[in-house]
Amino acid sequence: MKYNKLGNTELDVSLLCLGTMTFGEQNNEKEAHEQLDYAIAQGINFIDTAEMYAVPPRENTQGKTEEIIGTWLSKRNNREKIILATKVAGPGMEYLRGGSHLSKNQIFKAIDSSLVRLKTDYIDLYQVHWPERKSNFFGKLGYEYSQDLGVSIQETLEAMSALVKLGKVKHIGISNETPWGTNKYIQLAKDMGLEKVVSIQNPYSLLNRIYEVGLAEISQHEDIGLLAYSPLGFGQLTGKYINKTEKNTRLGLYGDWFTRFSNIRCLNAVKEYSKIANKHKISLTHLALSFVNNQPFVTSNIIGATTMEQLKENIESININLSSEILEEINEVHLKQPNPAP
């Protein structure tokens, strides 16, 4: 396994991070614990979750993923060996605290609930899951101007910084953010002596390279590494949906929730990337994950699986290096089919 510093912290995180949003939905506790055991045995020390999970978000499964990770941590007694990341939900979840927001009061309640579910007394990386304001995340295109920004970034950052002082959180990060929002966090931290965000968790894959424009430069110059999520485009970049979408697959079950991954442009791009993989005799999964693994602005690539076979293939991508010829062919497809799943 390869490791990178988490921003400017003392933490060395594995280049592959185990994503867990299927725990409590597509994966039961036994299956989840098996995934966790295998990932750790392969050198992964970084686990990412969220108070909102499992996915798709429902009131009756909210918090279930954290609970499953908590029972595993308790049984294995290995908390100090794990770098644990979770997230506080942004606005829009009416069944969370009477309507979720990123206010100080709500953030304090959220962290305490997560600590109980995870059976720990601290979180290594606590992240804002999505912005309070209306912005471009979760596939939203265009720009909707609004003067109503909701709870200010300053209040959110002050609350997150207070959690560090209290010892409940070691470091803080953001997720689904824009260049403007990221720079706002950076500037407030400098001006007010607050905690600096050390990471940004945004989508990045062959199907969505938007991060390269604006945010990648911030990552490099401000030492805020990308934690790349959806590196396989909700499974599209395994190639399993090229001919048919099976009912028991993620897109088959939850495609209505994640329509940005099922448009015709997305499918056409996948077919082109599949041709490249076949030509060079590697799996499409390895092509897609290796592309993300080897980006200089990526701190960790968040992989997720519903079966052990998928998990093993995902982890094997750490040993794949793409030739300059393959990278040129990838960029040719990108020019023809740019960002079909933003």
Angstrom distance (rounded) from CA 219 to CA 200: 8
Kindly give, in sequence order, each residue whose CB lies less than 8 Å from that of residue 113, ignoring residues fewer than 6 positions away: 51, 63
- Alpha helical stretches, state H, 133-235: 153-166, 179-192, 215-222
- CB contact burial 271-310 (16+ within 10 A = b; e otherwise): ebbbebbeeeebbbbbbbbbbbbebebbbbbbbbbbeeeb
Name the active-site residue from 3, 38, 53, 185. 53
Angstrom distance (rounded) from CA 162 to CA 151: 16
Beta pairing partners, 202: 228
Does the N-terminal peptide bond of residue 277 adopt cis geometry, omega within 30 degrees of 0? no
171 by DSSP, 3-state: which? strand
Q: Residue count of the chain, please give it.
A: 342
Angstrom distance (rounded) from CA 54 to CA 23: 6
Q: Judging by beta carbons within 10 Å of its beta carbon (0-12, 13-18, 19+), is residue 23 exposed, middle or buried?
A: buried
Angstrom distance (rounded) from CA 211 to CA 103: 27
Beta pairing partners, 284: none
Catalytic residue list contains 53: yes
Instruction: Quote the distance between the C-alpha of residue 68 and its chain's center.
Output: 18
Angle between helices 64-76 and 104-118 (to 10 degrees): 50
For the annotated catalytic residues, the residue numbers are: 53
